[in-house]
Amino acid sequence: MIGFLRGKLVLKAPPMLLLDVQGVGYEVEAPMTTFYNLPALGEEIKLHTHLVVREDAHILFGFSTEADRTMFRTLIKVNGVGPKLALTILSGQSAEEFHRCIYNNDTQALVRLPGVGKKTAERLVVEMRDRLPDLGDASLSSADISTAAVAPVINNPKQEAISALCSLGYKPLDASKMIQNIGAEGKSCEELIRLALQRAVK
């Protein structure tokens, strides 16, 4: 099992990023909460990782904090919630917002996330309520992430944001409308995605 990776950030293409670890390139899928904290390309980062092994692929998921990885591992234990849906949930809500939804039985907020239907939302509330207290021991501190001021290479933040939303489960037309409703000028891909997701779950 790969517990963590420390290396140079080579590529950011939400929800995928590429990490150069001593000459080996690791493709890692990460929630947007991790992307929001990433430094510039070329800088060193550390990611807490979880490896999912399938018959047709080995998929590595990365998280900026131990708490996010613990939440991911807890989510995929819920019946009907796979790694992709868990990643979407962690991208659409902060850990604190998700906790509030569970404790307040707020299934309506959960249903606003792509891929989460009424039955899945109800199952999340029931099954996660007993498991969330175990998350209290997880560290909420950020991983060792450098914040050097080298500008990342961005071709088209608007299109990258739309593509990322589609990867998270939104339909292309819906993703395009979500980004169009935000003033895109001067904003990074991560900022556009964050604003779009915040509006989507309200």
List the CATH number of the domain containing 109: 1.10.150.20
Q: What is the pLDDT along the chain (202 residues), one digit of tens a residue?
A: 789 999 999 999 888 999 999 999 999 999 988 988 899 999 999 999 999 988 888 999 999 988 889 889 989 988 889 999 999 888 887 777 888 888 888 898 898 888 888 999 999 988 887 777 544 444 333 333 232 222 333 357 887 888 788 877 787 778 888 888 887 677 888 888 888 888 876 6
Which amino acid, 156?
Answer: N
Q: Does a structural domain hold residue 165?
A: yes
Q: Could you tell me the CATH number of the domain that includes residue 38? A: 2.40.50.140
The CA distances from residue 27 to 10, 62, 70, 118, 149, in Å, are 10, 9, 20, 33, 24
What is the extent of the structural domain holding 175? 157-200
- Residues 8, 54: one domain? yes
- pTM, whole model, 2 decimals? 0.67
Asked whether 109 and 101 are in contact (CB, 8 A), the reply is yes
Domain match, 9 and 59 both: yes
Task: Indicate the number of domains in the chain.
Answer: 3
C-alpha 77, offset from chain centre: 17
